[in-house]
Structure 1
Amino acid sequence: MEDWKMDNAIIIGAGPAGLTAAVACAENGIDVVVIDEYMRAGGRLLGQLYEEPNGSWWNGIKESTTLYEKAVKLGVKFHLNIAVNHIEKSNGRWVVYTEKQTFYTNHLLLATGAAESPLPVPGWTLPGVMSVGAAQVMTNVHRVKPGERGVMIGVNVLSAAIAMELQLAGVEIACLTLPKMNRMTKGAGQPREVVDSLLHVSHMAPSPFVRYGSKFMKNDFMKKLGVQLYPKKGVKMWGIPIQLRKAVIEIYGENEVEGVTLATINADGEVVYGSEEQIQVDFVCIAGGLYPLAELAAVAGCPFYLVEELGGYVPLHNERMETPLEGLYVAGNITGIEGAKVAAGQGKTAGLSIARRSGMKGLDMKIQDSIKMTEQIRNSAYIQFHPEIEVGRKKILQQWEAYQSNKRKSS
């Protein structure tokens, strides 16, 4: 197949950021190609189904379908089920290598999203053990139950939301609990750290005990006391026990998952031996959280910074979603772990920035409006994956200013 040559935009990733960026580019006269390794456009939108505070339902499949159809009508070309093998800058243009074609462009947007962090637990290689994201896609996208009764290892915003979704699909969740603490699981197995991470989303809890109790846990002493007094059987949310004083020390079964061994842990996360009990389940979900999927930005040579408040290493970028590399842009969870609506806002900003860089006039005000709208969406987000996301955003912008200052001094 011949090389594809075009002077306009290529977007890698067909999630909320990539789709929204494609629409923004196309609306401003830019020819756009979107590449994604999955068989359908939508990314993590495809698995999302939840009730919003106003009582309406956020249906990710519906949202992604609307965006995809709008992009197609605007002339956006999609290459799905195609993996990107490599990207590089050659003769002033970005070259994107895939297993079927080679693409060339002056404007390349990386909207590759996020990946799940694993939590190693003895027995995790058994059939029936999966990530929470895999269970979400199986249930909400393919309409296949991961099992009849399961346990979620890892208590965080993501696991709580997906547990509720699975329950809506008729899947029983025996409990959400912690992994046994070790050097790999780190804070995920430490009750006090887990409590700290959950306090900023306590407003979501249907349990009055959790909602009102969280208001009294604003200092370290009260947090420690709260963990020590936390009920051994857990507190139920949506009818699902959230167990912060128990940990899975083993997943067992002959040829597939048959159950898990739970043990009581103290306030410091240490196992109380002799407290072991077995729970029969036919599947296990592991929820280690998300991190920015930024390998392609690294391959391109983009500078990186470790910003814990954003979920890990993120490529350097400014508010316009531009990187220090000419013609390379980023948007969505590659820039930090947030919700789909924020990713879509960033995608719109990136699309407008690409159009401006392509020579389209009169877009500066639209770009600033898009940046402000994304900030408003972030501030009003019902769920925040990281409680100090604003601190993280400020850190990366400070790094951008420092980088640009050093660049001016050296030139």
Structure 2
Amino acid sequence: MKEVEILIIGGGPAGLSAAAAAAGLGANILLLERDDRLGGQLVKQTHKFFGSKKQYAGERGYQIGDLLIGQCSAQPKVEVWPETTVLGIYEDGVVTAEKDGQHLKIKPQKIIVATGASEKMIAFPNNDLPGIYGAGAVQTLMNVHGIVPGRRVLMVGAGNIGLIVSYQLLQAGVEVAAIIEAAPTIGGYLVHASKIRRAGVPILTSHTIQEAYGQESVEGARICRLDENWQAVAGSEQDLKVDVICLAVGLSPLTELCFQADCAMNYIPELSGHVPLRNDYLETTRAGLYVAGDVSGVEEASSAMVEGRLAGVSAAYSLGYGQDVAPRLQAEALAELSELRSGPAGQKTLQGLKKLMAKGEAVC
């Protein structure tokens, strides 16, 4: 049985930020990551970040990942176990994990869950054909392994991920036949959409995919326009010859461990799914268990990093570390989150958090 002060589950932007912040105050950290490398989604993000200098605006995602990994590596109190999958969080506080074929037990005093999110899929005929990918998988293929997924792509979804991955496909020499979006408006930043349109790629709002077709892999897709009631408009069908269909239709928080740990949970659409109730300092209804990043509600990586820092400081502070500086650091992180969510893009998150707060009051 390994004992540790703070166990962090997930080595993406939230987990790395939490580890650096908590260790910086003096706590001993064990960071578990199921992949063979740290960084989470950052390792495949080649675009530059927005925000402020505090969230590394102007840096590319993989560069920010390297920065965060470097901050953790510089902390002697951070121990990292890569290729380790957490299996459960139990009533007695024991956490079990699998590493190198071994079943391990860990007894932490505090836990920070930073497991991120998974890609959503949508149902349509033949959606199991080879050649249909989630946008994250396409990013991994291209930006991590240097492999293009195909020659001609239909992108489904005009949020930031769909727009950014479409541009990265173009940069890799892949033709993007079109981007379709079921909603009547583009969901991502217009600066990304403008680059796509300047490259000659049509962005078709109020459109959906009806079916994919092909013998052994994708050979094409049929799309159509939607009316104001989200019904297919007769006669609007188009046939696109593509060998890849890329789905960028959102993310779902990876909250299985929170459910298993018996955290109070609620379904909040604005936060992209079931999320745990928590207080301002990200502690859930299970005492000593904190959440940070997309597992607490899907946002940008900038917010995940700040939430990670807040959770790390809060967990360390609860163990008696940083008594003179932790309250100030918590206040600074809360102010940064408020600033990040102050624009139009943050309104959806704020609505979700307001709903979650009301649910929390009902539980109390």
Q: What TM-score comes out, normalization by structure 1 length?
A: 0.79
Letter of the aligned partner of 1:376 in structure 2? Answer: E
1:14 Cα deviation from its structure 2 partner: 0.5
Match of 1:4 in 2: 2
Shift in CA distance, 67/273, structure 1 to aligned 2, threshold 3 Å: same
Match of 2:331 in 1: 368
1:274 Cα deviation from its structure 2 partner: 4.9
Match of 2:45 in 1: 48
Shift in CA distance, 255/271, structure 1 to aligned 2, threshold 3 Å: same
How many aligned positions are there?
A: 353
Letter of the aligned partner of 1:333 in structure 2? Answer: D
CA distance in 2, matches of 1:317, 1:238: 44
Q: Is the 8 A contact 2:87 2:95 kept in 1?
A: no
Shift in CA distance, 245/310, structure 1 to aligned 2, threshold 3 Å: closer
Q: Specify the SS of the correspondent of 1:89.
A: coil
Q: Is the 8 A contact 2:12 2:40 kept in 1?
A: yes
CA distance in 1, matches of 2:341, 2:59: 16
Q: Is the 8 A contact 1:94 1:107 kept in 2?
A: no
1:283 Cα deviation from its structure 2 partner: 1.1
Letter of the aligned partner of 1:23 in structure 2? Answer: A
Q: Specify the SS of the correspondent of 2:341.
A: helix
Match of 1:28 in 2: 25
Match of 2:214 in 1: 253
Q: Specify the SS of the correspondent of 2:184.
A: helix
Question: Pick from 358, 361, 364: which aligns with 1:398?
Answer: 358
Identity %: 30
CA distance in 2, matches of 1:156, 1:53: 15
1:334 Cα deviation from its structure 2 partner: 1.0
Question: Pick from 170, 175, 196: which aligns with 1:167?
Answer: 170
CA distance in 2, matches of 1:196, 1:245: 8
Match of 1:139 in 2: 142
1:238 Cα deviation from its structure 2 partner: 4.4
CA distance in 2, matches of 1:142, 1:107: 36
1:315 Cα deviation from its structure 2 partner: 0.1
Q: Specify the SS of the correspondent of 2:142.
A: helix
Matched, 1:73 2:74: yes
Q: Specify the SS of the correspondent of 2:87.
A: strand
1:70 Cα deviation from its structure 2 partner: 1.7
1:236 Cα deviation from its structure 2 partner: 3.3
Deviations 1:219-274 (A, max 9, x none): xxxxxxxxxxxxxxxx9364321112543222111111112123344444433445
Letter of the aligned partner of 1:377 in structure 2? Answer: L
Q: Is the 8 A contact 1:41 1:80 kept in 2?
A: yes
1:355 Cα deviation from its structure 2 partner: 0.9
Shift in CA distance, 138/16, structure 1 to aligned 2, threshold 3 Å: same
1:350 Cα deviation from its structure 2 partner: 0.5
Deviations 1:24-56 (A, max 9, x none): 0111111111111112111111222224569x7
CA distance in 2, matches of 1:267, 1:79: 51
Q: Is the 8 A contact 1:87 1:97 kept in 2?
A: no
Match of 2:194 in 1: 206
Shift in CA distance, 203/294, structure 1 to aligned 2, threshold 3 Å: same
Q: Specify the SS of the correspondent of 1:236.
A: helix
Q: Is the 8 A contact 1:292 1:311 kept in 2?
A: yes
Shift in CA distance, 366/150, structure 1 to aligned 2, threshold 3 Å: same
Letter of the aligned partner of 2:98 in structure 1? Answer: T
Between stretches 314-323 and 146-155, larger displacement belongs to 146-155
The structure 1 segments of at least 4 consecutive aligned residues displaced by more than 6 Å after TM superposition are: none
Unaligned runs of at least 5 residues, structure 1: 179-188, 208-234, 407-411
1:348 Cα deviation from its structure 2 partner: 0.4
Q: Specify the SS of the correspondent of 1:165.
A: helix
Letter of the aligned partner of 2:96 in structure 1? Answer: V
CA distance in 2, matches of 1:276, 1:157: 26
Q: Is the 8 A contact 1:16 1:42 kept in 2?
A: yes
Shift in CA distance, 73/276, structure 1 to aligned 2, threshold 3 Å: same
Within-5 A mapping of 1:148-159 = 148-159=151-162
Within-5 A mapping of 1:279-294 = 279-294=240-255
Matched, 1:339 2:300: yes
1:107 Cα deviation from its structure 2 partner: 0.5
Letter of the aligned partner of 1:62 in structure 2? Answer: Q
Q: Is the 8 A contact 2:163 2:192 kept in 1?
A: no
Letter of the aligned partner of 1:393 in structure 2? Answer: L
Q: Specify the SS of the correspondent of 1:50.
A: coil
Q: Specify the SS of the correspondent of 1:106.
A: strand
Letter of the aligned partner of 1:68 in structure 2? Answer: I
Within-5 A mapping of 1:97-116 = 97-99=97-99, 100=102, 101-116=104-119
CA distance in 2, matches of 1:10, 1:53: 30
Q: Is the 8 A contact 2:210 2:224 kept in 1?
A: yes
Match of 1:215 in 2: none
Unaligned runs of at least 5 residues, structure 2: 52-56
1:203 Cα deviation from its structure 2 partner: 6.0
1:168 Cα deviation from its structure 2 partner: 2.2
Q: Is the 8 A contact 2:253 2:295 kept in 1?
A: yes
User: Aligned-pair RMSD on alpha carbons?
Assistant: 2.4
Shift in CA distance, 67/308, structure 1 to aligned 2, threshold 3 Å: same
Q: What TM-score comes out, normalization by structure 2 length?
A: 0.89
Q: Specify the SS of the correspondent of 2:231.
A: coil
Structure of higher CA gyration radius: 1
